[in-house]
Structure 1
Amino acid sequence: MLFVVVLVAVLWVLAIRRAPLTVWAGVIAIATFLAQSDLIDGVARAPEFGATQLLAWIPAIVLALLTLPAVRRAVLIKPAYGLLKGTLPKVSDTETQALEAGTVGFDAELFSGRPDWDKLRGLPPIVLTNEEQAFLDGPTEELCGMIDDWRIRFTEREIPQEIWDFVAQHGFLGMLISKEHGGLGFSAQAQSLILGKIASRSPDVSTIVMVPNSLGPGELIEKYGTTEQKHHYLPRLAKGEEIPCFALTGPTSGSDAAAMRDIGHVCRGLYKGQEVLGIRLNWDKRYITLGPKATLLGLAFRLFDEDNLLGKGTDVGITLALIPTSHSGVEIGRRHLPCGQAFPNGPTWGKDVFIPMTWVIGGQAQAGNGWRMLMECLAAGRAISLPSSATAGTKAMLRLTSAYARIRKQFGIPIARMDGIGEPLARLVESAYVNEAGRAVTAAMVSRGERPSVISALMKYQTTERMRRAVNDAMDIHGGRAICDGPHNYLLSPYQMVPVGITVEGANILTRTLITFAQGALRSHPHLYDEVKAIQNPDRVAGLNAFDKAFCGHISFTISNIAGALFHNLTFGAFAGTPDNVGMRERWYRQVSRQSRNFALLADMMVISLGGGLKTQQKLTGRMADALSELYLVSCVLKRFEDDGRPPSDKPLVELAARNGLFRCQEALIGVIDNFPMMPMRFILSVLVFPFGRPYRPASDRLAKSILPLALEPGEARDRLTRYIYVSDDADDAGGLLEVTLTKVIAAEPAEKKLERAIRAGTVRRYHGLDWYAEAVSKGVLTQAEADQLRDADQHVARAIAVDHFDPAELKPNYEVADRSESRLASRAAE
């Protein structure tokens, strides 16, 4: 029995350690010899070689033969190659370009089941150059102070020209353009923080800065443009002399860009009086941000070359071009009105528009490479733009709502002290901390030159969804104060903007169910994409050689995941990987490593079982995306705590975020197992992944309550939770009024307690029409100084909780504008 136990333990270790086949063969051979020679009983005698004894050597012999390449390929590789050729997912050219455009980051570590924590910890913390810090503290702060959100989104429904001028003058539109070409050349981390600070003040203004610094002509020209295009356009874009937009989405080709109906035909035509090689274009695009204001249109279209003038065949492929909006035939439509926001957005179209070939981004050589170019830029841009604005928005919701909940009273106490209010407040604290952790780590990856396509997708959908929940929680806590619009309503603008962030770059439904895991499984799995490429290789010999290596690695990987997952789940993660010198957080590192094994096992089983059908199982892939997201974000939380210097006040918050993240990851994995298409696999996976049932519970109410003082008490902890957003101290500003009032209310608390006791005792009466402060002074309850302090604090509270109201005449002009728009639409329809 001891021999059997030791043998199983050794084989288990070999499986977890992904031992080579030769080691397996040797160990099994030694075990067979020992068993037959009876050495385990302490008696040495020559082994017998009867039929039964010879059969026992078959496993060792088979494994030994499989170490020989010729044998392995004949009996294993070729049959597997033929079988998987029809089951593994087919990867189209556009999918291949999307997969190869980005890079893998820590997502690959989580897919591996054995995360290397040194890779995550090796990423730099938030570091800005002196120039970047000065820009964040100077022009960015000044820009935020200039913004009047009510004027932008209601009074004018337009971003004022002085904002455009300031943005252009200070180089906000050229942050990603290199200094060589007249831009600021800022790091991705700096861009993320600058965009976030502006977003915390105005989603509209943030949008006009975000678009030129995200997927747009600037980045495309910088990376792929010809020398002439770079010298001409980049300095003009950096100075704001050109306002760019990029037209990709059409009425029939949103997420499915391969179905694009916008086309161009290579031909010869007249340009500036001379016949040149060019393209005749027809397009119809919509939702183009900055389109109505743009002077330079970036356009994506499918290019055809029936006469093969370019030498690339008839269907050249998706191509990108730069077209001045003043060019003959370019039509810029009227404006869309996305969720009532004021940033310029609208359609564009053109019919038989001729452009010279030199307007193709990168020139003739880059014709047909547009999809790869877009995907490479999107992989980095999506990691910065929307996560930065969503994270800043979440922090702003926490800053504003915690102040409001602390100064607003019901039933004689601040509503922040009510358990019912404490629940959404705790969610706000958690979301702000987690979003910022993920944002900082992801921006650090991009600053280092990575283009994390999978991580950028999960960050986009996770941060915007958490922002949606944060805004809803803020609205609920504010109640009627939040739903009545006006110049002092600081919540309605983000509430209206939330769906825009969730919808842009593909709605979160798509990002979650198709991109994050379905593409992530191919991109981040250590062997799957190599197998697919080997199978699709037109050179069969080279394909078989590559498939041999990938398939053997995949078998070892699968066995390792099965053994490793069961081992770590039976031992509650006690032996899972952890970095050095992490103290009390060691258990959370171990649990993330444990859940990473479970995730890797389930991901592998889904790929093996479903093959090409993986894309159709979108509920399952969505849950896997959720699990991956939670593992990544908990990992970022652990890194943030270290980067922040391990402040003791944040320890409960780290524990809360880790507990909730691991619980949500667990629930997502359970959802996958319970709905796995193959019934027998459900039982097997349940035993391997959850042998003792659910190991994680969400954070307790007590723990959630313990983190609330971090947000409710002014000081270093509150500032750290809401860092890098715009915070005003101007009492004439809606947000600044909250900050000033919070300070005054807390300072007046001792006097307030005296007054409250007197009111409850009936000594002082507090009703409209009475001066209860003077009465409290006359009866010796308060000193005059205390009464003045309380009067001042209460006056500020009254202003802070007041609701805007209007004369109907102030609102009517907006209805008249709407009526005129309706008339124009009716006239156009009649035409």
Structure 2
Amino acid sequence: MADFDNESNIEIVRKATRELARKFDNNYWLDKDNKHEYPWDFIKAFADGGWLGAMIPEEYGGIGLGLQEAAVMMGEIASSGGGMSGGSAIHFYVFPPAPIVRYGSEEMKKKYLPKLASGEMLTAFGITEPTAGVDTSRIKTKATKVDGGWVINGQKVFITNAQNAHRILLLARTAPRRDDKPLHGMTIFFAELDPKHVTIREIDKLGRAAIDTNELFIDNLFVADEDVVGEVDKGFYYIIDGLNPERIVVAMEGIGLGRAALEIGTEYAKNRVVFDRPIGQNQAVAHPLADSWIRLEAAERMAMHAAKLFDDKQECGHEAAAAKYLGAEAGFEACDRVFSTLGGYAYAKEYHIERLWREVRLLRNAPFSQEMVRNYVSQQVLGLPRSY
């Protein structure tokens, strides 16, 4: 474990996690992607280093670091070649526990957080539903009160890790939707993924094949009262509390993907000779790569600025949204430009660009679209009328 006494925490984390992540090279991730195989040995390496508990308080087995350090770690994982497969593998240990850390009972924290920090327990996060889209207030998954707990019925979609997770932070309606308070009446449950009551179907998808994405069909799943996170009916507000960190980290993962591609593209441009000169000598090749470096650097500065505001307990919603937007755009542009730099070779899996390109494209749509970022900024920052 790194020594956090003498050097800047951020630089210690950057150096240590870069060194660890790069032990798993592009060929490792290509193999996992081809086989649709969960990267357990990669996770174990980060668990052994103590990194899975980066944002879990020390009294519950974690390191107790801030969002700045966690964001840097996720950026290094993505830029090592791990991309979204490596990012998601660690992301779901570090960030889904946040509602438990902030709002869970002391009993819940003591029971579950050490297992999450050590890697003994893997979680999934269940919000999205097929009929609700980005309007979470219209989810239909319902929890009904019974003696000693709740019985949940409903459906979730695009749920990461459900094939391997032990439990899921599950958002369900505990009161009917009200037009005057549409986001009230939803509760977070830390539910066991009991195969007798939860049917999990994997979604065949474009990228990030090493990490499963699923549909969930929930039929009379019982959750004890002790596994309710925080207060009943206030679950959505707890999720909102965690959206800014997620946006910042997604930005850093997009930036990392772009840097992984840029590293490959720059090396190729130096060594690929056409018409007796390296193609990187041509401005049509060099300038787009240089532009991508500039945009990736700028995006990271916005993301780290937002992370510092969060760590300092200041409002950071505008900056977090801007960071997600810039990280997704800069990451995709870098991968796309390197795709063009390699020409036909970009289609060959051995060069890894097609894998990075497939993964980074997701970030323009998830966890929320670039259009929704522009909607948010238009309304909340510029004061324009709501357009949706």
Fold match (TM-score > 0.5): yes
CA contact (8 A) 1:171 1:240 kept: no
Map 1:163-562 onto structure 2 (within 5 A).
163-200=42-79, 201-203=81-83, 204-214=85-95, 216=96, 218-268=97-147, 276=148, 278-304=149-175, 317-326=185-194, 328-339=196-207, 341-362=209-230, 366-383=231-248, 385-486=249-350, 489-512=351-374, 514-518=375-379, 520-521=380-381
Could you tell me how far 1:133 is from its partner in structure 2?
Answer: 4.5
RMSD: 2.3
What letter corresponds to residue 149 of structure 1 in structure 2?
A: W
Map 1:87-236 onto structure 2 (within 5 A).
129=7, 133-138=11-16, 140-147=18-25, 148-154=28-34, 156-200=35-79, 201-203=81-83, 204-214=85-95, 216=96, 218-236=97-115
Could you tell me how far 1:371 is from its partner in structure 2?
Answer: 1.0
Could you tell me how far 1:444 is from its partner in structure 2?
Answer: 2.0
What letter corresponds to residue 453 of structure 1 in structure 2?
A: G
SS in 1 for 2:169: strand
CA contact (8 A) 2:187 2:232 kept: yes
Distance in 2 between the 1:418 and 1:139 partners?
35
SS in 1 for 2:23: helix
Could you tell me how far 1:431 is from its partner in structure 2?
Answer: 1.4
CA contact (8 A) 1:461 1:508 kept: yes
CA contact (8 A) 1:287 1:346 kept: yes
CA contact (8 A) 2:93 2:119 kept: no
What letter corresponds to residue 157 of structure 2 in structure 1?
A: R
What letter corresponds to residue 205 of structure 1 in structure 2?
A: G
Distance in 1 between the 2:326 and 2:20 partners?
30
The one-character-per-residue Cα deviations of 1:117-173 (angstroms, maximum 9, x if unpaired) are xxxxxxxxxx9956664454345512321341221111x221343223223332332
Question: Structure 1 residues 128 and 153 mapped into 2: Cα distance closer, same or farther (>3 Å)?
Answer: farther
The size of the alignment, in residue pairs, is 374
Could you tell me how far 1:198 is from its partner in structure 2?
Answer: 0.8
Distance in 2 between the 1:129 and 1:502 partners?
35
Distance in 2 between the 1:436 and 1:259 partners?
34
Distance in 2 between the 1:500 and 1:128 partners?
39
Question: Structure 1 residues 193 and 289 mapped into 2: Cα distance closer, same or farther (>3 Å)?
Answer: same
CA contact (8 A) 1:264 1:280 kept: yes
What letter corresponds to residue 94 of structure 2 in structure 1?
A: N
The one-character-per-residue Cα deviations of 1:744-773 (angstroms, maximum 9, x if unpaired) are xxxxxxxxxxxxxxxxxxxxxxxxxxxxxx
Could you tell me how far 1:338 is from its partner in structure 2?
Answer: 4.3
Map 1:732-771 onto structure 2 (within 5 A).
none
SS in 2 for 1:168: helix
Could you tell me how far 1:316 is from its partner in structure 2?
Answer: 6.7
Could you tell me how far 1:232 is from its partner in structure 2?
Answer: 0.3
Question: Structure 1 residues 428 and 143 mapped into 2: Cα distance closer, same or farther (>3 Å)?
Answer: closer
Question: Structure 1 residues 516 and 338 mapped into 2: Cα distance closer, same or farther (>3 Å)?
Answer: farther
Question: Structure 1 residues 143 and 392 mapped into 2: Cα distance closer, same or farther (>3 Å)?
Answer: closer
Could you tell me how far 1:428 is from its partner in structure 2?
Answer: 1.7
Question: Structure 1 residues 139 and 458 mapped into 2: Cα distance closer, same or farther (>3 Å)?
Answer: closer
Map 1:694-733 onto structure 2 (within 5 A).
none
SS in 1 for 2:151: strand
Q: Greater relative contact order: 1 or 2 (C-alpha under 8 angstroms, separation 6 or more)?
A: 2
What letter corresponds to residue 354 of structure 1 in structure 2?
A: F
CA contact (8 A) 2:21 2:76 kept: no
What letter corresponds to residue 29 of structure 2 in structure 1?
A: D
What letter corresponds to residue 345 of structure 1 in structure 2?
A: T
The one-character-per-residue Cα deviations of 1:690-720 (angstroms, maximum 9, x if unpaired) are xxxxxxxxxxxxxxxxxxxxxxxxxxxxxxx
Distance in 2 between the 1:451 and 1:283 partners?
34
CA contact (8 A) 1:197 1:392 kept: yes
| Structure number with larger C-alpha Rg | 1
Indicate the structure with greater strand content.
Answer: 2
Distance in 2 between the 1:340 and 1:234 partners?
27
Could you tell me how far 1:211 is from its partner in structure 2?
Answer: 2.5
What letter corresponds to residue 288 of structure 1 in structure 2?
A: I
Question: Structure 1 residues 228 and 202 mapped into 2: Cα distance closer, same or farther (>3 Å)?
Answer: same
Could you tell me how far 1:433 is from its partner in structure 2?
Answer: 2.3
Map 1:9-28 onto structure 2 (within 5 A).
none
The one-character-per-residue Cα deviations of 1:509-554 (angstroms, maximum 9, x if unpaired) are 2222x22322x24xxxxxxxxxxxxxxxxxxxxxxxxxxxxxxxxx
CA contact (8 A) 1:132 1:190 kept: yes
Distance in 2 between the 1:248 and 1:491 partners?
31
CA contact (8 A) 1:267 1:280 kept: yes
SS in 1 for 2:185: strand
Could you tell me how far 1:330 is from its partner in structure 2?
Answer: 2.8
Percent of residue pairs bearing the same amino acid type: 21
Distance in 2 between the 1:336 and 1:411 partners?
42
What letter corresponds to residue 122 of structure 2 in structure 1?
A: I
CA contact (8 A) 2:170 2:190 kept: yes
The one-character-per-residue Cα deviations of 1:562-581 (angstroms, maximum 9, x if unpaired) are xxxxxxxxxxxxxxxxxxxx
Question: Structure 1 residues 506 and 482 mapped into 2: Cα distance closer, same or farther (>3 Å)?
Answer: same
Question: Structure 1 residues 450 and 327 mapped into 2: Cα distance closer, same or farther (>3 Å)?
Answer: farther
Unaligned runs of at least 5 residues, structure 1: 1-126, 269-275, 306-314, 522-602, 607-613, 619-831
Could you tell me how far 1:304 is from its partner in structure 2?
Answer: 3.1
Question: Structure 1 residues 376 and 464 mapped into 2: Cα distance closer, same or farther (>3 Å)?
Answer: same
Distance in 2 between the 1:316 and 1:448 partners?
28
SS in 2 for 1:479: helix
CA contact (8 A) 1:323 1:359 kept: yes
Distance in 1 between the 2:10 and 2:194 partners?
35
Distance in 1 between the 2:21 and 2:293 partners?
27
What letter corresponds to residue 232 of structure 2 in structure 1?
A: A
Could you tell me how far 1:205 is from its partner in structure 2?
Answer: 1.4
Question: Structure 1 residues 133 and 419 mapped into 2: Cα distance closer, same or farther (>3 Å)?
Answer: closer
Could you tell me how far 1:327 is from its partner in structure 2?
Answer: 7.0
What letter corresponds to residue 156 of structure 2 in structure 1?
A: K
Structure 1 equivalent of residue 386 of structure 2: 615
SS in 1 for 2:140: coil
Could you tell me how far 1:233 is from its partner in structure 2?
Answer: 0.6
Question: Structure 1 residues 171 and 332 mapped into 2: Cα distance closer, same or farther (>3 Å)?
Answer: farther
Unaligned runs of at least 5 residues, structure 2: 177-182
